[in-house]
A and B are shown apart, each in its own frame.
Chain A
């Protein structure tokens, strides 16, 4: 087995998603900048070491830019809308007086280090989660993900896959249009150049959607089969209600500050309804799969490393939550203990143990 382990191949996309969601879950549990920075570094290393040559793999840089934007905006908002929580004033801006109906809102004024740091920590948490999702998008092949969906999930899966791959596809469009412009010697700048880029991208997106729709149609997606209209409507309602419930439940479970009655009860109810919907949908769809992706040991290792990061962070937040949300009352370096630090470092396993991706020229067409 040792000889075949590192043969280049595409990993099962679900393994990458489990790994990335594990990291994102861990990030959602903490505002400690040490841990968040480490998660970003871990995700980036794995992406750079194991991404393929596909267009969606190149979009990772955009997620990093987006993450930087999120952090900047959070800090800016703290500066604009009153950042005087705490005693270490680092910047004194003139305060803009607002009319009485805007009471409670403050524009500018004194800015404290505590507020800015609070905004930075909070923004960094969201940014880290975005980077984790970007890592999953860069590593997992969305087309293979769609293929791996169980039959009952086809309709939902198609929508989700299309939604998830919009951003990477857009990134690829941008790259292609820019390359084409460069080849044509287009050097315009400013608004004119923007028009020259945006319109081809939009046209490209529209063309692709039509193409995708046509190809899906010809492959029998959305086939109603023998089901009656009423049965199909009932199935659709069950699925949507169930999935909404699952979304709310998962959010409430992950976010510690949401009321608990939204967590487990809604999640379980949503799951039950969704399973009913899936069973109804699955009964009328029969699809076979050509050379399905297999779930091998490497997939288990990758998925388990992501889950391990999340589990360690959950365990820490139960047992020893002091350092996961560093106090901003007295300014100090955020403290850190060993367990979460080691836990996050487990996430780097795929960079070493996942099989390398197929190179473009060697990949089957």
Chain B
């Protein structure tokens, strides 16, 4: 019975995990800023954790959530066990399970990705339209769509308050598209406390409407047409195009496209001291123990009959 159970369990694991682990997904996304308004640029700023900021592009012509952008750009992430990918606790394996995060009020804090990270050490989520200032997201990563041609930012907030949360230190300006006005609409705040509330589709420019050159600016004076589905919500107002602008790109920190970044799975194997042989030994031990159980049970049955 038990042997059958173990065999069944092994079969489930075998069939389910047969696909290989992929490497840092150079296959997904492209290093650096998006060259055109198609897709979204994802900025990951490690801030006080140390490490070079990474900028990658998710060149998608279709809509997607913040999670799609982050994963599509090739970043390797981990969600907390409790909430899954709805709450990101690690990006590119930072802060890793073996890294002590100097969070205030927590001695020797390590991010174990089991429950929601503390307010003093977590990945803050930002977004920005092209040439716009960064905005701290009021929405969860799965609950809002990225701005086509815009930016998604991840910035590690260590011992900061809601006021001093550090925005990504990369100006949200695509090279070659400087000097345009910021045309991102202000996103409405969530109307309920339901964490599953989904943002209503925004009247952004249809993705892929322009091929590289322009930003597809809609006439700034005209309010965008209200989407049929969001009749209950107030109309998203276009920003006053005069005041908000992105930071000067010259002040951005140095960044890479993550070309040299090591595969997170490899890093994990090294950090954890995992041995490629240990799972084999574990499997062999399970088989051996099962065989020994069966043998002992048979011996005892025979002894009882004798």
Contact = CB atoms under 8 A, between A and B. Distances in A.
B231 interface: no
Contacts of A104: 194-196
B265 to A, nearest CB: 6
Contacts of B13: 33, 117, 120
Interface stretch (A195-203, A264-272, A322-330): A322-330
Interface string A15-58: 00000000000000000011101101110110011000100000
Interface centre among A49, A65, A345 (most CB of B within 10 A): A49
Nearest to B303: A359
Given A345-B285, A348-B289, A61 B9 contact: no
A331 B19 contact: yes
B279 A334 contact: yes
B2 A71 contact: no
A348 B6 CA distance: 17
A335 B16 contact: no
A342 to B, nearest CB: 9
Interface in B61-114: 71, 76-79, 81-82, 84-85, 96-98, 110, 112-114
A60 to B, nearest CB: 9
B17 interface: yes
B282 interface: yes
Contact of B282 (A68, A87, A336, A339): A336
A298 interface: no
A322 B19 contact: no
Interface string A83-109: 001111010000000000001100000
Contact of A68 (B5, B98, B112): B5
Contact of B21 (A37, A124, A322, A331): A331
Contacts of B296: 45, 48-49, 351
B226 interface: no
A337 B114 contact: no
Contacts of A256: 112, 114-115
B278 A341 contact: yes
B49 interface: no
Contacts of B233: none
Contacts, number: 158
B12 interface: yes
B162 interface: no
A228 interface: no
Contacts of A341: 278, 281-282, 285
B51 to A, nearest CB: 18
A86 B195 CA distance: 19
A338 interface: yes
B279 A336 contact: yes
B16 A38 contact: no
Interface centre among A61, A71, A103, A336 (most CB of B within 10 A): A336
Nearest to B85: A85
A126 interface: no
B279 A331 contact: no
Interface in A210-257: 256-257
A35 B282 CA distance: 8
Contacts of A332: 17, 20-21, 265
B275 A337 contact: yes
B209 interface: no
Interface string B260-292: 000011001101111100110111011001101
Nearest to B96: A322
Contact of A333 (B12, B17, B197, B285): B17
A144 B97 CA distance: 45
A129 interface: no
B96 A44 contact: no
B242 interface: no
A211 to B, nearest CB: 29
Nearest to A322: B272
Contacts of B71: 87
Given A33-B9, A34-B283, A41 B290 contact: yes
Q: Which are the 7 A-B pairs with shortest beta-carbon distances?
A: A332-B21, A322-B272, A335-B274, A41-B289, A104-B196, A336-B278, A34-B282
21 contacts: A40-B6, A48-B300, A88-B19, A104-B196, A117-B13, A257-B81, A320-B272, A321-B110, A322-B98, A323-B274, A325-B113, A325-B114, A329-B79, A335-B269, A336-B275, A336-B278, A336-B279, A337-B272, A338-B278, A339-B273, A351-B292
Interface of B: 1-2, 5-6, 9-10, 12-13, 16-17, 19-22, 71, 76-79, 81-82, 84-85, 96-98, 110, 112-115, 194-197, 264-265, 268-269, 271-275, 278-279, 281-283, 285-286, 289-290, 292-293, 296-297, 300, 303-304
Interface of A: 33-35, 37-38, 40-42, 44-45, 48-49, 53, 61, 64-65, 67-68, 71, 85-88, 90, 103-104, 113, 116-118, 120, 124, 256-257, 320-323, 325, 327, 329-339, 341, 345, 348, 351, 359
